[in-house]
Structure 1
């Protein structure tokens, strides 16, 4: 691939279509990771994840899933910016998301240097990674507090939530590694337990981890939500899974 050691925006696939922020490693490529952002877009937090993954030897690309409404969205965490993000998220369409994920996967495969590809996602991005796993073949989905796995309500989910077709994840050979906080208000314990049941029933290779006392967004750089111990443990597990599966 073109030298991306400093990270920059690139067009993926179709001219005039989706772009991604891409950060490549300095030395040997160990695989590629599609980083799916939460509702705040490809902001400094997401670009930091890309830089850290590149430092470990992976080509990291963060797609701009909002591109049809607004390009290169980068939001902070104020109440007003959260509302902006929610408005943009409500405009997302499930089938368009899958098409965008497919373009990102094609680019990731091309840049992976014959290694594997993973999707990593937080919150909304975790949902996108799981949805992608029901439709596309790749090696690992590592998801932090993914929403709407078993319930609908947004166009990005569509009429059938992703874990209602968990068998497709198994058929696509995607291993699912998931993280949730005990106090998550979006993904409550009973839903996380039902997700575990659905994955086991569908024979999806997986591990779901719950962190006592942690909230939704525990891995983000928002002081009110951040849990340093949970974040460190989750990323340790992600790095180990990337090394094993890519």
Structure 2
């Protein structure tokens, strides 16, 4: 996706290269992406492309250029040895000057809307912190930085927002260092500090043995939220989701549905393991097993909607008549003609102004009870009552609990 551009050093000593990734829209706020000790390799370019999908103009400068231009290392033993050699010889102060030159170069780009943040990993996380202290950026985010505790006296100079992600088991930023950092930074209005339990350094790098997907996803959501709040861009996620649902359930247009999504999206209907991963599989799923599999009287009644910076959580009442085989919901079960009403939750993730994925949850036992293929007698399951109580919280609770009646007169059960 990206291209290489030239950046002029501020001290007049020459110029260096930067990897530039631009969003599909052609413009957006800027992010200066700060490398690990392995140079501008596939990992860093991939992160740049990823954040370009999120709507940012990303510029990753070659910070080792004063030693050797174009350093690009992998993660085998020999490359680790070379990477630490570059790290040990790195002039940090000149490096921050080069980052400042990159910030100015990015702001001058016609694609950049003007607002600029910084994002760094490993060595780049410490540099992101120092960038927040020494450069004019609106927000800086760092993942598993090392050595930040040695520069806490500079925190008084931070004008923008600072977000730092720490790994609990990180030998390069051990507990003692984190305590110093937390002691100096925690409680500041413009600072967010997050600790990820049980994970190690580089937990957000997919190519690493320490990669921990749940922590990486949570950290990414927090990072993008910080960027959105500080520099934008701001999208109407509610309208985008409504349009997607219109194409799915009203106009039933598969091409239009796919056009609302990123190039490689996925959908996961959790209870039935149905959906699709990637454009080809998801198109097949929508075309042959979803859009036209839904009964004509299908209705989605919104109950609540929570809108974040990167995702929407919808709580809806989903109802239909089981007048056909519904591949995604009741695969292999012949039509029963029964009416079904269930609470349903959709967690919808976006990248930029496109849907990235959908995680859809519902109580499959309630569906099976309502179509008559599961006898609820003696089981802790309910039928249409789950939908009714969603709309009327005053309906009886705890009817499935035999012990509920016995606790009525138990000591301490009355609240005063």
Using structure 1 for the length normalisation, give the TM-score.
0.87
Alignment of 1:44-55 (within 5 A): 44-55=42-53
Q: 1:231 aligns with which of 193, 216, 231?
A: 216
Q: Please state if 1:11 is matched with 2:6.
A: yes
Q: 1:223 to 1:105 in 2, by over 3 A?
A: closer
Shift of 1:28: 5.0
Q: Please state if 1:220 is matched with 2:200.
A: no
The separation in 2 between residues aligned to 1:25 and 1:148, in whole angstroms, is: 33
Equivalent residue, structure 2, for 1:119:
118
Equivalent residue, structure 1, for 2:21:
23
The separation in 2 between residues aligned to 1:148 and 1:58, in whole angstroms, is: 28
Alignment of 1:72-83 (within 5 A): 72-83=70-81
Alignment of 1:46-195 (within 5 A): 46-111=44-109, 113-150=112-149, 161-169=150-158, 173-195=159-181
2:162 alignment partner, SS class = strand
The separation in 2 between residues aligned to 1:134 and 1:27, in whole angstroms, is: 31
Shift of 1:95: 2.1
Task: Point out where structure 2 has 5 or more consecutive residues left out of the alignment.
Answer: 232-416
1:114 alignment partner, SS class = strand
Deviations 1:101-152 (A, max 9, x none): 11111012223643421110001010111112221121111100011012xx
The separation in 2 between residues aligned to 1:223 and 1:83, in whole angstroms, is: 16
The separation in 2 between residues aligned to 1:199 and 1:108, in whole angstroms, is: 28
The separation in 1 between residues aligned to 2:104 and 2:210, in whole angstroms, is: 34
2:18 alignment partner, SS class = strand
Of the two, which has the highest radius of gyration?
Answer: 2
Q: Which has the higher contact order (CA 8 A, sep 6+)?
A: 1
Task: Point out where structure 1 has 5 or more consecutive residues left out of the alignment.
Answer: 1-5, 151-160
- Contact 2:22–2:52 (CA under 8 A) maintained in structure 1: yes
Equivalent residue, structure 1, for 2:322:
none
- Contact 1:9–1:21 (CA under 8 A) maintained in structure 2: yes
1:32 alignment partner, SS class = strand
Q: 1:147 to 1:223 in 2, by over 3 A?
A: closer
- Contact 2:126–2:146 (CA under 8 A) maintained in structure 1: yes
Equivalent residue, structure 2, for 1:158:
none
The separation in 2 between residues aligned to 1:245 and 1:224, in whole angstroms, is: 33
- Contact 1:178–1:208 (CA under 8 A) maintained in structure 2: yes
Equivalent residue, structure 2, for 1:205:
190
Shift of 1:204: 6.1
The separation in 1 between residues aligned to 2:18 and 2:189, in whole angstroms, is: 29
1:120 alignment partner, SS class = strand
The separation in 2 between residues aligned to 1:76 and 1:210, in whole angstroms, is: 27
Higher strand share: 2
Q: Which aligned runs of 4 or more in structure 1 are off by greater than 6 angstroms?
A: none
Give the alignment's Cα RMSD to 1 decimal: 1.6
The separation in 1 between residues aligned to 2:37 and 2:92, in whole angstroms, is: 15
